[in-house]
């Protein structure tokens, strides 16, 4: 997939899937705008990529910061072609009776409002280019309950519907809205899940998780016409057909 002269904005880019996506898209020739709260890690990534990358400190839960990040990206690279909504958290992991209301709400602010903020802020820039892709990291938790993950499950289920609404409203304007459910990925989030010791996912061995560059490579593939049939829906990396199409099997 050739992304030369294309600009990609990635939220949660300081580690995990976001950082690997930055590397994959940069290697494909794209300009990359990297958003995260962790500015030190962003600086290291930009150092790897050089002039085709910029780091933008941003808390996706704050609309003003996201809107400003889009403006900075457009000024730096002349436009925006792809938004990757990757920023997300799972903590605090707790049963409903023990959940801290503020902590529970923070998950919603980042995982759901953060995706809305990205979409709302980026749409004018994407449409100014004649259309573009909005790729959002989903989860199997969007479709089934998981013990002690009520905030995460609720936020991902809502994001799935938000993706479908975006497709309904903006597909005719050239917006390709596609979700990606990667399965369990070897990232810091899985370390947090493991440490909780709650539910079946925390019992998985580390080698059961896929490497973070797998979903990153799938996100690049999703920018191509071959993924058009999934617009308004989700792609699962548990699907062997998808793994073969992306070149992961």
**Which pLDDT does position 41 carry in this prediction?**
83
The pLDDT of residue 44 is above 90: no
Known active-site residue 152: yes
If you search the block for the tokens 């990606």, which residue do you land on? 180
**Which pLDDT does position 189 carry in this prediction?**
87
Query: What is the chain's Cα-based Rg?
Result: 17
Provide the terminal-to-terminal Cα distance of the chain, rounded to the nearest Å. Answer: 18
**Which pLDDT does position 219 carry in this prediction?**
98
The pLDDT of residue 249 is above 90: no
If you search the block for the tokens 């909780």, which residue do you land on? 196
Domain boundaries, the chain: 7-246
Give the chain's mean pLDDT: 95
**What CATH topology corresponds to 7-246?**
Rossmann fold (3.40.50)
**Which pLDDT does position 187 carry in this prediction?**
86
Yes or no: say if 148 and 93 are a contact pair by the CB < 8 Å rule: yes
**Which pLDDT does position 38 carry in this prediction?**
79
The pLDDT of residue 106 is above 90: yes
Rounded distance, CA 200 to CA 217, Å? Answer: 27
Catalytic residue chosen out of the listed positions 104, 149, 152, 214: 152
**Which pLDDT does position 193 carry in this prediction?**
92
Angle between helices 39-49 and 16-27 (to 10 degrees): 20
Q: What is the pLDDT of residues 129-153, one digit of tens each?
A: 999 999 999 999 999 999 999 999 9
E-only strand ranges, the chain = 7-10, 31-36, 53-57, 82-85, 132-137, 175-181, 234-236
Strand partners, 175: 132
**Which pLDDT does position 121 carry in this prediction?**
98
Which is higher by pLDDT, 39 or 13?
13
Rounded distance, CA 82 to CA 8, Å? Answer: 5
The pLDDT of residue 206 is above 90: no
pLDDT-derived band at 157, boundaries 50, 70, 90:
very high
Q: What is the pLDDT of residues 47-89, one digit of tens each?
A: 988 899 999 999 999 999 999 999 999 999 999 999 999 999 9
**Which pLDDT does position 87 carry in this prediction?**
96
């Amino acid at each position: 997939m050739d992304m030369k002269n294309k600009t990609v904005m990635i939220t949660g880019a300081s580690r995990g899937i976001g950082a690997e996506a930055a590397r994959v898209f940069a290697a494909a020739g794209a300009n990359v705008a990297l958003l995260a709260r962790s500015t030190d890690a962003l600086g290291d990534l930009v150092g790897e990529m050089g002039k085709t990358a910029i780091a933008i400190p941003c808390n996706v839960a704050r609309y003003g910061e996201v809107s400003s990040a889009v403006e900075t990206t457009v000024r730096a690279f002349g436009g925006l072609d792809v938004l990757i909504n990757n920023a997300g958290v799972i903590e605090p992991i707790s049963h409903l009776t023990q959940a801290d209301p503020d902590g529970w709400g923070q998950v919603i602010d980042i995982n759901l409002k953060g995706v809305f903020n990205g979409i709302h802020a980026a749409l004018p820039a994407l449409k100014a280019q004649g259309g573009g892709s909005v790729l959002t990291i989903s989860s199997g938790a969007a479709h089934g309950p998981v013990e002690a993950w009520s905030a995460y499950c609720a936020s991902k289920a809502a994001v799935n519907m938000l993706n479908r609404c975006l497709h309904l409203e903006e597909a005719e304007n050239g917006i390709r809205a596609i979700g990606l459910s990667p399965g369990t990925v070897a990232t810091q989030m899985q370390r947090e899940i493991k440490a909780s010791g709650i539910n079946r996912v925390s019992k998985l061995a580390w080698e059961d998780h896929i490497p973070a560059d797998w979903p990153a490579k799938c996100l690049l593939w999703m920018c191509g016409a071959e993924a058009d049939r999934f617009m308004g829906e989700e792609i699962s990396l548990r699907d062997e057909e998808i793994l073969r199409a992306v070149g992961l099997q």
